[in-house]
Amino acid sequence: MRGPHNIWRLIRTGATLERTGAMKVVLDAFEAPRSIRFLAHALGKPFMWLGYKGDPSMPPATRALTALGPAYIKFGQVLSTRPDVVGQELADHLRVLQDKLPPFPREEAMAEVERELERPLSEMFSEFSEPIAAASIAQVHKARLVETGEEVAVKVLRPGIERAFRRDIDAFYFAAGVIEKLIPGTRRLRPIDVITHFDGVVQGELDLRLESAAASEFAANTKDDEGFRLPPVMWAYSARRVMTLGWVDGVPLGDNAALDAAGHDRRALGERVLTLFLRHALRDGYFHADMHQGNMKVAPDGDIVAYDFGIMGHIDEYTRRVYAEILYGFIRRDYRRVAEVHFEAGYVPADRDVDEFARALRAVGEPIFGMDAAHISMGRLLSYLFEVTEKFGMQTRTELILLQRTMVVVEGVARSLDPHINIWQVARPVVEDYIKQSIGPRAVAADLLKTARVLARFGPRLPGMVEAALIAQANPARDDPAPGRRSGVWPALAGLAVGATLVLLAGNF
């Protein structure tokens, strides 16, 4: 599937950008140098007639991405939250990609609901509206349950979306492979691994049973978060291609005029969006990874209500601690410690100079502090960070891709609510609280207890493990130059000793 036939797809991508006029818009937005502009137009114009026409009523960039398919639309959704990167005009044009795409017919959605839930629609819903929101992968209908009369939101996947998305991803895989072969310098970024990670994440959106489970877990984690709530999942009316949630009234988070008219404090909302994301990522290690304006409302009581849980992020506890220490170091402007954390975590090769890396990080961090956030060019900042990572041989870490991507989206959402918000000032109390809870004597004691509990489960097997280790020590292989080492006897015995100690400690907690 990922062979040269994908060249045709990539050619049509460039041709579509050229035909719709999006090529110039995108190049202007990113302030591309003259050489890149010449190359892009030289490759695009000869094949322009092969490009998709798209909807002429849409702005060029939106028109092109919509015509190209769901994976491209997802990319546009991310850019729509970053007016400081692509400019306010392009960001406004791309925002329609979030929930205002052309819907498919109501009748097709109703038929899909009946097939998936294996019941006549009239037995389940007394009302079933025309589509009220249409996104790249699914659309939503407002309905009313026959059994209780409760209003609900019914999400239905687009017909044939699985096949369409696979076509786009296959082309991305092919492009990533070609880039790695032709431009060796990009290999440290592991473009194929990046696409693999993105592929796995979005595949979760194509099975609404997984999204329902994600919503349920997320709700359990955040049930005590003030000013934040989720609509309940209606499990009896959900399946692989259909998901039903409780209905929520509210103002879309991207409609500033409506938020002002309703009397909501946009500055407070922006700060809360940032705080909630950091709290969920650090405290729970499980966060909403698609937090653009189209996936959040503000309820009449002021609560932020999130929905669309197809993309959720997960990071393990160790990575959360590393991430928190890096953030905390930047907040305190302790660039030496930030550099040390990168080396300790293996993010930077050990043969590089820590002091030099700390100075490079200072050049990244210092412009942020004491400056109005509206005057910081995130595009230039990201460009400089790329140069730093290339210089020090850092590799792309796939487990942090979704976290980093969501951080970009959330900051963009917050800035759309309050252009002067400073992410570092808002982040500080959340990160400091996490540091207190996860790093220090109390955290060490908790870690020991967890380790002891795990090792305690192996208690009945300890005698057999010791006996096997002693037998292996007494009968080493004849060709083993270092008896006992090949079988790992001494590390095993050391581990058993530590395990026994921890089991004793566990009994004292």
Domain for residue 501, yes or no?
A: yes
Residue 336 falls within a domain, yes or no?
Answer: yes
Percent of the chain with pLDDT over 70: 74
pLDDT tops 70 at residue 500:
no
CB neighbours of residue 68 within 10 Å = 24
Q: What is the Cα–Cα distance from 71 to 170, expressed in whole angstroms?
A: 11
Inside any domain, residue 309: yes
Q: Which tokens sit at 233?
A: 């999942």
Spatial CA neighbour of 425 closest among 372, 461, 469: 372
Does 134 score more than 70 pLDDT?
yes
- How confident is the model at residue 294, as a pLDDT? 81
| 351 plus 488 within the same structural domain | no
Residues 361 and 476 in one domain: no
For the full predicted model, state whether its pTM sits above 0.85: no
DSSP-derived secondary structure letter, 281: I
Per mean pLDDT, which range of 92-106, 372-386, 396-410, 422-436 is the poorest?
A: 372-386
Note whether 263 and 380 are same-domain residues. yes
Asked if residue 407 and residue 393 are part of one domain, the reply reads yes
**Between 251 and 380, whose confidence is greater?**
251
Element (H, E) at 334: none
Angle in degrees, 0-180, between the axes of helices 70-79 and 398-417, rounded to the nearest 10: 50
Residue 90 confidence (pLDDT): 78
Domain stops at, among 417, 439, 461: 439
Residue of higher predicted confidence among 137 and 260: 260
**Mean per-residue pLDDT for 188-209?**
76
Q: Same domain, yes or no, for 386 and 469?
A: no
Which tops the pLDDT comparison, 173 or 148? Answer: 148
pLDDT over threshold 90, residue 322: no
For the cut 80, the answer to whether the pLDDT of residue 402 exceeds it is no
The arithmetic mean of pLDDT across residues 147-166, rounded, is 92
| Same-domain check for residues 358 and 466 | no
pLDDT of amino acid 507: 45
pLDDT for 375 beyond 80: no
Q: Are residues 268 and 387 both part of a single domain?
A: yes
CA separation (Å) from 319 to 189, 285, 315?
19, 9, 6
- 435 and 374 within one domain: yes
Q: Which of 97, 112, 131 is the last residue of a domain?
A: 97
pLDDT score at 363: 84
Residue that terminates a domain, selected from 56, 77, 97: 97
Active site residues: 290
Write out pLDDT tens, residues 47-87. Answer: 888 888 888 888 888 889 888 887 788 777 766 656 656 66
- pLDDT at site 121: 96
Cβ proximity of 132 and 141 under 8 Å: yes
Q: What does the alpha-carbon distance between residue 368 and residue 441 come to, in Å, rounded to a whole number?
A: 32
pLDDT at 148 over 90: yes
* Residue 471: both structure tokens together: 């037998």
Domain annotation covers residue 27: yes
Mean pLDDT on 409-432: 84
Residues 6+ apart with CB under 8 A from 151: 142, 143, 144, 246, 247
The 10s digit of each residue's pLDDT in 446-486 is 667 777 766 666 667 767 777 777 787 677 655 554 444 44
**Most trustworthy range by pLDDT among 11-20, 169-178, 393-402:** 11-20
Please indicate, yes or no, if residue 468 is contained in any of the structural domains. yes
Instruction: Tell me the average pLDDT across 260-265.
Output: 95
| pLDDT band of 398, cuts 50, 70, 90 | low
Are both 387 and 454 inside the same structural domain? no
The CB-side HSE value for 319 (13 A sphere, CA atoms) comes to: 17
Q: Which residues contact 433 (CB under 8 A, 6 or more apart)?
A: none
The yes-or-no verdict on residue 295 having pLDDT over 80 is yes
Residue-number span of the structural domain to which 21 is assigned: 6-97
Q: Which residue did the predictor score with more confidence, 320 or 106? A: 106
pLDDT tens digits, one per residue of 332-372: 889 899 889 888 888 888 888 999 989 988 887 787 666 66
Shared domain check, 493 and 422: no
Residue 59 is predicted with a pLDDT of 85
Mean pLDDT of the chain: 80
Residue 15 is assigned to a structural domain of this protein: yes
Q: Give me the mean pLDDT over the 275-287 stretch.
A: 93
| Cβ–Cβ < 8 Å for 453, 506 | yes
In a domain, 123, yes or no: no
Identify whether 231 is part of a domain.
no
**pLDDT tops 80 at residue 324:** yes
Residues 425 and 278 in one domain: yes
- pLDDT for the residue numbered 194: 67
Please tell me whether residues 264 and 386 are part of one structural domain.
Answer: yes
Digit-coded pLDDT (tens) for 225-242: 999 999 999 999 999 999
Task: Name the percent of the chain lying above pLDDT 90.
Answer: 29
Please state the domain count of the chain.
Answer: 3
